[in-house]
Amino acid sequence: MSRFLTFILLSMIILPVSAARLAIVIDDFGYRQEIEKKVVRLSPKITVAVLPNSPYAKQIATYAHLYGNQVMIHLPMAPIRLTGLEKDTLFPDMSEAEIARIIDEAIVKVPYAVGINNHMGSRMTSSLSGMKKVMARVSNYALFFLDSRTIAATRVKEAAEIYHVDTLSRDIFLDDSINEDDIAAQFDIAIQLARKKGYAIAIGHPHQQTFNVLYQKLRYLPADIQLVTPRELLPSTQPNHTVGQVWKLLVDDANVLINQWNLQLDSRRISSHFYY
Ligand SMILES: [Zn+2]
């Protein structure tokens, strides 16, 4: 038997048992198209989280979807220090109706989303009453909630359980420091954690330095590490959008899709698309 065949057979036997799963989410998408497209093209297993009121929200979500990447809504939530807030940032004392409107609009602005994670949000996610209003609305959709964990005293899981919304929780921030050595070290910690507990969720941002590190690290990803989407880490597989939602999105976005398809063909000519 050739070495190659032996390797394939051994991989089939060994990998499913020993693979540790790593999910990477890059958020704050919607402002810097060029670097964001490069991040998307790194791997379809990189999940991107799009700010609903950013200038290129719909375009970059559609682009990512066409490349096979999963899309999330990066929902702005009130931090402790109220600076640099996005439009429609959620506050704990907002009415249920106001929070519902903001979530409904975010779903329209970020097509193809399969989940939500919070942008900032220490003030909001540490408020049980605030998060209950969020989860009450999110539970109307087939969306999971990834807690970015910007604060230790988060009440996300507690609120989500009341409304049966599936949750996940961020383990590592890749680029609190945007020094490439620091990002690489954070990536390695994520891998160690994935080996230890079976999986890890890392969140990063569309910085050139983060892209550079991911480009290298994903090329030489250890054989026992399997890159997955956060959704694959959920115990139950949820449906994506309902048929009605998909149809509406298709009609609304027909022109965007055609434009993006042309763009995609262009970029396929000039760049390689790595699969891991
Ligand atoms: Zn953010």
Tell me the pLDDT tens digit for each residue of 199-247: 999 999 999 999 999 999 999 999 999 999 999 999 865 444 555 555 5
| Residue (of 60, 69, 10) closest to 32 by Cα position | 60
Residue 204 Cα, ligand 1 centroid: separation in angstroms? 9
Residue 17 Cα, ligand 1 centroid: separation in angstroms? 34
- Within a domain: 23: yes
- Within a domain: 275: no
Average pLDDT, the chain: 88
Residue 205 Cα, ligand 1 centroid: separation in angstroms? 8
- Residues 20-28: what's their mean pLDDT? 98
The total domain count for the chain is 1
Give this prediction's pTM: 0.81
Q: Which residue has the higher pLDDT, 257 or 215?
A: 215
Residue 50 Cα, ligand 1 centroid: separation in angstroms? 9
Residues 6+ apart with CB under 8 A from 205: 26, 27, 28, 174, 175
Answer whether 73's CB lies under 8 Å from 110's CB. yes
Residue 120 Cα, ligand 1 centroid: separation in angstroms? 6
The helix (run of H) or strand (run of E) holding residue 242 is none
Residue 77 Cα, ligand 1 centroid: separation in angstroms? 9
- Within a domain: 104: yes
Residue 105 Cα, ligand 1 centroid: separation in angstroms? 18
Residue 134 Cα, ligand 1 centroid: separation in angstroms? 17
Range of weakest confidence among 11-25, 32-46, 128-142:
11-25
Beta strand residue intervals within the chain, DSSP E:
20-29, 46-50, 71-77, 113-120, 144-147, 167-169, 172-173, 199-204, 225-228
Indicate the pLDDT class of residue 15, thresholds 50, 70 and 90.
Answer: very low
Does 261 score more than 90 pLDDT?
no
Residue 272 Cα, ligand 1 centroid: separation in angstroms? 28
Per-residue pLDDT at 259:
55
- Within a domain: 205: yes
Could you tell me the CATH number of the domain that includes residue 219? 3.20.20.370
Residue 74 Cα, ligand 1 centroid: separation in angstroms? 7
Q: Can you give the residue range of the structural domain that contains 83?
A: 18-270
- Within a domain: 3: no
Does 260 score more than 70 pLDDT?
no
Residue 261 Cα, ligand 1 centroid: separation in angstroms? 27
Burial (0-12, 13-18, 19+ Cβ within 10 Å), 239: exposed
- Within a domain: 9: no
The residue type found at 68 is: G
| CA distances in angstroms from 90 to 19, 97, 126, 224, listed in the order given | 38, 12, 12, 40
Residue 51 Cα, ligand 1 centroid: separation in angstroms? 8
- Within a domain: 139: yes
Does 165 score more than 90 pLDDT?
yes
Residue 196 Cα, ligand 1 centroid: separation in angstroms? 27
- Within a domain: 215: yes
Residues 58-68: b if buried by 16+ CB within 10 A, e if exposed: bbbbbbbbebe
